[in-house]
């Protein structure tokens, strides 16, 4: 995962353009992708697909010395995203200042700025660089194009035994920012590779933020309305902060409960947040017209760390250990979704004799014998096939037992003929 982050990091991505295409080409080396190109001007819900932006070079040059004091080739964050082309033009430093963006409180970092829907131009630079510029003339140049083209997104589908889908979404529009969101892309790819013959169908969407998910929703109204049973937006998946799960708009969706259960059972520091219409693309999937059960898994929260949207968010800022932890947590959440079934107790009159069926004996010698015995009793008692809250996740929450123990108990009871799956 970390190597994929390092490989993708130099590419200049935006909401459209060749940087997105090259990113998806590299992702496609690991998992097959179905790539969609949506033309400029296409109406997508209340939005319109914008012009396509590409950039080849840009600089600010000190006329007196001929030295580039700001160079796109050093960092693609140096140019305000979607800057219109600017031919070589000489301006005084005073004239140029209104086009320059810095972080005075973080003088050694380059900020990330964009202007997607207003045609303008600008540069981002370290505040310490700006402070060191002498008065005088500077030549500016931006070799970019802003023209009719396409918005690009891609999907990867892992077929399941049911057409009910788990949506996994991450944005691919940020330039050289490792945690936001190359780490999310890397975790998504690893999740896709790990899935083998799942119960649900898993749909991975790699799309530009906001306009990309809106475009996908506009083109997938029927699927969104009828097939998406669970969903997860992945972002900021590689920093050293503790894991954070943000609820879907529904608040009590199965994905919300599964994520909260996994995090709580882990015993590690974590945060579970209520839904808010601010953040990543969960706010599009959870817009009231769709109201999909889509939560968001991050480590540090949206805009919640000093390196957010700065050059400090580089490959060294994310760690292999953090991405691995995010991967394993998401995998555990998916395993809850995969195994969360409802059962009917086939011997509901009184407690069935477990010993003569070898169920107690089969647990002998296990360190968790007592817990599994308790899980069997809970599963038998709650699996009436009638109550709306008799699925295995419901039972785990009521009993305070780990989901794995409850699922293992249900498997053993079903093999002994005491349970019948009804979902």
User: Which residues fall in the annotated binding site for Zn(2+)?
Assistant: 174, 180, 309
Annotation: binding site: 174, 180, 309
Contacts of 152 (CB under 8 A, 6+ apart): 16, 17, 20, 21, 24, 35, 36, 37, 38, 208
294-298: strand order across its sheet: 34-39, 150-158, 201-207, 165-171, 228-234, 294-298, 243-246, 270-273
Residue count of the chain: 423
Beta strands in 105-200 (DSSP E): 123-124, 137-147, 150-158, 165-171
Cα–Cα distances in angstroms (integers) from residue 361 to residues 27, 355, 367, 373, 416, in the given order: 49, 7, 13, 10, 13
Separation CA 101–CA 80 (nearest Å): 9
- Ramachandran bin of 14, using left for φ above 0, alpha for ψ from -120 to 50, beta for the remaining angles: beta
Q: How many helices (H) and strands (E) does the chain have?
A: 13, 18
Q: Enumerate the β-bridge partners of residue 297.
A: 234, 245
Dist CA 220 CA 209 (whole Å):
17
Contact present, 303 and 225 (Cβ < 8 Å)? no
Torsion angle of C-alpha atoms 284, 286, 289, 293, degrees rounded to 10: 140
With H, G, I as helix, E, B as strand and everything else as coil, classify residue 56.
strand
- Could you tell me the two tokens for 269? 């520091």
Nearest to 178 by CA among 254, 237, 111: 237
Separation of alpha carbons 129 and 70, rounded Å: 9
Encode 181-194: b = buried (16+ Cβ within 10 Å), e = exposed: bbbbbbbbbbbbee
């Amino acid at each position: 995962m970390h190597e994929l982050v390092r490989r993708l990091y130099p590419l200049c991505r935006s909401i459209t353009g060749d940087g997105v295409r090259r990113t998806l080409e590299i992702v496609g080396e690991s998992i097959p992708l179905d790539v969609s190109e949506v033309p400029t001007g296409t109406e997508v819900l209340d939005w319109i697909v914008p012009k396509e932006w590409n950039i080849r070079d840009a600089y600010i040059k000190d006329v007196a010395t001929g030295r580039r004091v700001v160079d796109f080739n050093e960092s693609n964050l140096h140019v305000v995203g979607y800057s219109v082309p600017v031919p070589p033009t000489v301006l005084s430093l005073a004239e140029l200042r209104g086009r320059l963006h810095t972080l005075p409180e973080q003088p050694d970092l380059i900020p990330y700025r964009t202007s997607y829907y207003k045609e303008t131009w600008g540069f981002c630079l370290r505040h310490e660089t700006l402070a060191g510029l002498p008065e005088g003339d500077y030549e500016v140049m931006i070799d970019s194009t802003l023209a009719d083209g396409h918005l690009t997104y891609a999907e990867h589908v892992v077929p399941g035994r049911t057409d009910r889908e788990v949506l996994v979404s991450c944005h691919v529009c940020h330039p050289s920012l490792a945690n936001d969101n190359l780490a999310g892309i890397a975790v998504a790819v690893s999740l896709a590779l790990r899935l083998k013959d799942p119960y649900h169908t898993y749909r991975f969407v790699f799309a530009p933020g906001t306009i990309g998910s809106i475009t996908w929703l506009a083109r997938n109204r029927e699927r969104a309305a009828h097939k998406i049973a669970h969903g997860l937006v992945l972002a900021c998946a590689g920093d050293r902060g503790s894991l954070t799960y943000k609820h879907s708009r529904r608040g009590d969706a199965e994905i919300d409960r599964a994520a909260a259960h996994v995090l709580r059972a882990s015993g590690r520091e974590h945060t579970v947040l209520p839904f808010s219409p601010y953040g990543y693309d969960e706010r599009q999937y959870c817009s009231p017209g769709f109201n999909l059960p889509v939560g968001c898994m991050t480590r540090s929260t949206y805009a919640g760390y000093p390196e957010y949207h700065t050059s400090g968010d580089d490959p060294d800022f994310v760690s292999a250990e953090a991405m691995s932890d995010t991967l394993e947590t998401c995998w555990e959440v998916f395993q809850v979704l995969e195994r969360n079934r409802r059962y009917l107790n086939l011997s509901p009159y009184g407690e069935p004799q477990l010993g003569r069926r070898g169920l107690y004996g089969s647990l002998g010698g296990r360190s968790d014998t007592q817990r599994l015995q308790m899980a069997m009793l809970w599963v038998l008692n709650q699996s009436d096939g009638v109550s709306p809250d008799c699925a295995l996740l419901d039972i785990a929450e009521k009993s305070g037992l780990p989901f794995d123990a409850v699922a293992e108990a249900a498997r053993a009871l079903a093999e002994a003929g005491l349970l019948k799956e009804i979902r």
